[in-house]
Structure 1
Amino acid sequence: MITRETAVAVVGGGPGGYEAALVAAQLGADVTVVEKHGVGGAAVLTDCVPSKALIATADQRADLDVAVRLGVSLGSSERSPTEGALVEARAINERILGLAAAQSRDIRTSLEQAGVKVLDGAGRLAGPGLVRAETATGGQVDLTADVVLLATGATPRVLPTAVPDGERILTWQQIYALQELPGHLVVIGSGVTGAELAQAFLGLGSAVTLVSSRERVLPGEDADAATLIEDVFRERGMQVLSRSRAQGVERSADGVRVTLTDGRTVSGTHALLAVGSLPQTSGIGLQDVGVELSGSGHIVVDRVSRTSVPGIYAAGDCTGVLPLASVAAMQGRIAMWHALGDAVAPLNVRGVAANIFTDPEIATVGMSQQMADELADVQCVALPLARNPRAKMQGITAGFVKLFCRTGYGTVLGGVVVAPKASELIFPVALAVQNRLSVDAVASTITVYPSLSGSIAEAARQLHQSE
């Protein structure tokens, strides 16, 4: 039985850390969270919450053009209404940082109301069962813990030839300090972060050049979805430089100059580095106590978040399992359920849905097209959203729904949704994947008419397998 004599120390107050702390407090432990930048971590303060708020702002501006297609006149019919829309970068960023700070305060309040102590400072392992916190006021606090959870997250990767200065050469954590909208933003990296922010600034009115080292943007995603998004980028005026790798970035007289490995140069007013992230696992005492790291520097954990050292757990981006806030939170919860003796099931990523907040969004869950192509007993149906009646009403022209199922059994194995608010539409597919529902079970569930979700049911009907 857990009592208040059971001490839990959590290093890092992001989703993995604060969710773990809430569970541990609920189970009766004495819990302390050590966080140096602010409760909520990068996910709340500099990454997920701010970036999605920025994207939501860009979406509102882009909706002006959609309104015109639907017959709503917003001014001169001779030009796009977005050309006359004023974008106040300072006001936008003040709002974004304000709501991020408010979210951080709300999480801290939840922790404190649950009885969790929050220390503002940097934590590190000082020995087995010992966490040393260097507080923000310059003091030092040693925490003796029966259970330690490491949730230190990750930090933007930078290039030695492209050193961020916070003014013209930026990481994705620095863009919210801008006082003016970039006139021409050069985005280096076409993964999730690069694609999302490139389109966000394009939607706000910046000229954007996207430097992609691969054949297409979003190389790790569904090929059909990535191709569609790249087509949308180009149609809306973004310059996409495929199979182009940045060699370096330097300041010019009035902006930046990006040099590519083939000798070409791209000039802009600002450059945004989106070339991945690195786990924050150095300098926190891991080697001193024998915590195993992977070749990439991530903490090695099993499916209940245990590290190689008894009593030490880890969660979130520092583990490299899946770089999603939702997964980090579940890793943290599982760690505490396991460590404190509650009922627990190992982490199962089969039903984990992921979303890319481009316009349209890309949501995925379960089996991918690449995996399906390698198996003989998998069927797939893809339906373009342009045929959906609700999509027609809303002026949606780009997007599709794709489902995968097991031949003979009809079990839903995965799906892809490319649509506005795909992050909401993917849930019924994730529910089917997680619970091993059949396509017939999905198809026999009545959907609202008209609705975008009707295309999910229609795809399931097309996958019906008669006996």
Structure 2
Amino acid sequence: MTEENTTFLPSLTIIGGGPGGYEAALVAAKLGARVTVVERAGMGGSAVLTDVVPSKTLIATADSMRRVMAASGLGVDLGEAQPHADMHAVDRRILELAGQQSSDIHRALEKRGVRVVIGDAVVTGPHEVTVRRRGIEEGEEPEVITSDAILVAVGASPRELPTARPDGERIFNWKQVYVLQDLPEHLIVVGSGVTGAEFASAYNQLGAAVTLVSSRERVLPGEDPDAAELLEDVFAQNGLDVAGRCRAESVERTETGVRVHLSGEGADGRPYIDGSHCLLAVGGVPNTAGLGLEEVGVELTESGHVKVDGVSRTTVPSIYAAGDCTGQLALASVAAMQGRIAVAHLLGDALKPLRPHLLASNIFTSPEIATVGVTQAQVDSGQYQADVIRLDFATNPRAKMQGVSTGFVKIFARQGSGTVIGGVVVAPRASDLIYSLALAVTHKLHVDDLADTFTVYPSMSGSIAEAARRLHVRV
């Protein structure tokens, strides 16, 4: 008589169907766990339905406009045609694509055997989630789901200012902006972080007059200074107005549009800016209120974020958390990684704790800004000793062929060893080009490993190898 396999595979309930939730669900189901995902809107969460997928689709459309407008410089005769953005068609395509992506994720989960429940969830115990399904009949009792572990991946919502309430008509947050029938005559974007810079860049490329209100000295204050300076130069060349060192005190509707009231030394005496529309990009707040987390012992920060350790575990051992609700870097890739790490820890699979210093990230402005590893600020402060090389794409033959005249690659190599510890790429499709530097940083490659790898000629990636060659030290 043979012994039966008694390997215990836990059950898992996931609250939230965004990248942190659905990625975890797919991995857990593949490893044999019984998984239930509770999502209140649609699979993919806000990342797919109202945030990442829609905004990057808008940006892709804007980039196509950029290439069309630059075509005459490459010898393409557009005749009398005047390209313009049909915002009704643009936004319809954006929302359709987001819906398709959500459906694809839903099907993938069900194919893997994951149970998907559309409804609102509350954590009512260390192993218990109470769910009120959408469309539940009056008087019907909520469902109580018991499982060995719970993963909270509820994301975040746009932060609102008490003096600037979005109305979905003239004043928008980043969830509401995809209802425009016409291109804004003058869009005022409040907030110069990643979200604000991306939307400002996109609408500027689509042909709108754009003013970006920044409370800081420069756009993208937390990013590589060379990259931020180059982006501001491009903004100026494209007619995008940056109102730096200004704070938007309030936003109000006018008869014809909006008025943004200003304060700060950068206002230059201007008490306000008038525009046709305003987009608020002032950060997010975690969707943890009313979820029952503190009642079962999960510790939250003052901002309402869930406290987690390196393996995504909260202060309650059976409850994990992933994504924007944890206060880590607000990126879909980070949420997905946190979710996968949580599953690996729960199921006893091989894992490495979250390593933010290896994170590759991208800002989808035009040009894109991609970074990985050690930053210029860390080198300048003495935290890391590094040899740094910056190589502009202006001399790259592929860049010339494509009409790309701005951008650069920057590599940080550890002094004494030549190990690649960081990198920056500013260029169209920098999000693709950064991958080779991310591999180098993650696997501690030497600059000679990059330099000695064949690259296609001509290619933008050739500049990465060339920059690495310039960091070579004769042995």
Provide TM-score, normalisation by structure 1: 0.96
Is 1:359 equivalent to 2:366 in the alignment? yes
**Any conservation in 2 of the 1:18–1:40 contact (CA below 8 Å)?**
yes
Is 1:149 equivalent to 2:171 in the alignment? no
- The aligned amino acid for 1:348 is R
Which residue number corresponds to residue 388 of structure 1?
A: 396
2:292 to 273, 282, 285: 285
1:125 to 123, 126, 150: 123
Is 1:43 equivalent to 2:41 in the alignment? no
Most deviating of 3-12 and 49-58: 3-12
How far does the alpha carbon of each residue in 1:202-242 deviate from its partner, in whole angstroms, 9 at most, with x for none?
11111111101111101110000001001101110111101
Equivalent residues in 2 for 1:96-107, closer than 5 Å = 96-107=94-105
**Any conservation in 2 of the 1:2–1:27 contact (CA below 8 Å)?**
no
Which residue number corresponds to residue 347 of structure 1?
A: 354
How far does the alpha carbon of each residue in 1:84-111 deviate from its partner, in whole angstroms, 9 at most, with x for none?
1132111111111001000000000000
Which residue number corresponds to residue 314 of structure 1?
A: 321
Equivalent residues in 2 for 1:35-434, closer than 5 Å = 35-76=39-80, 84-138=82-136, 140-262=142-264, 264-375=271-382, 377-434=385-442
How many residues align? The count is 461
2:445 to 434, 437, 441: 437
**134 and 3 in structure 1: CA distance in 2 versus 1, 3 angstrom threshold:** farther
Most deviating of 255-264 and 15-24: 255-264
Q: Which runs of 5+ in 1 are unaligned?
A: none
**Any conservation in 2 of the 1:2–1:29 contact (CA below 8 Å)?**
no
Distance 2:311 2:61 in 1: 38
Provide TM-score, normalisation by structure 2: 0.95
1:449 aligns to what SS in structure 2?
Answer: coil
Distance 1:172 1:195 in 2: 12
1:175 aligns to what SS in structure 2?
Answer: coil
**Post-superposition shift, 1:412?**
0.1
Distance 1:2 1:60 in 2: 56
How far does the alpha carbon of each residue in 1:242-284 deviate from its partner, in whole angstroms, 9 at most, with x for none?
1011000000001111001246111111100001111111110
- The aligned amino acid for 1:408 is G
**Post-superposition shift, 1:40?**
0.1
How far does the alpha carbon of each residue in 1:306-337 deviate from its partner, in whole angstroms, 9 at most, with x for none?
00001100000101121111111111011011
How far does the alpha carbon of each residue in 1:447-467 deviate from its partner, in whole angstroms, 9 at most, with x for none?
111111011011101111223
**Post-superposition shift, 1:374?**
2.3
**Any conservation in 2 of the 1:222–1:369 contact (CA below 8 Å)?**
yes
**Post-superposition shift, 1:4?**
8.3
**Post-superposition shift, 1:296?**
2.3
1:350 aligns to what SS in structure 2?
Answer: helix
2:154 aligns to what SS in structure 1?
Answer: coil
**Any conservation in 2 of the 1:351–1:431 contact (CA below 8 Å)?**
no
How far does the alpha carbon of each residue in 1:177-217 deviate from its partner, in whole angstroms, 9 at most, with x for none?
22222111100001100000011111111111110111110
How far does the alpha carbon of each residue in 1:365-399 deviate from its partner, in whole angstroms, 9 at most, with x for none?
00000011123631100011101111111111110
**Any conservation in 2 of the 1:3–1:28 contact (CA below 8 Å)?**
no
**Any conservation in 1 of the 2:84–2:206 contact (CA below 8 Å)?**
no
Most deviating of 325-334 and 409-418: 325-334
Distance 2:302 2:442 in 1: 31
1:172 aligns to what SS in structure 2?
Answer: coil
**Post-superposition shift, 1:418?**
0.1
**Post-superposition shift, 1:406?**
0.7
How far does the alpha carbon of each residue in 1:424-443 deviate from its partner, in whole angstroms, 9 at most, with x for none?
00000000000000001110
Distance 1:349 1:258 in 2: 36
**Post-superposition shift, 1:5?**
7.2
Distance 2:292 2:73 in 1: 58
Instruction: Tell me the C-alpha RMSD between the 2 structures.
Output: 1.4
**36 and 340 in structure 1: CA distance in 2 versus 1, 3 angstrom threshold:** same
1:405 aligns to what SS in structure 2?
Answer: strand
Distance 1:352 1:108 in 2: 27
Most deviating of 258-267 and 153-162: 258-267
- The aligned amino acid for 2:401 is M
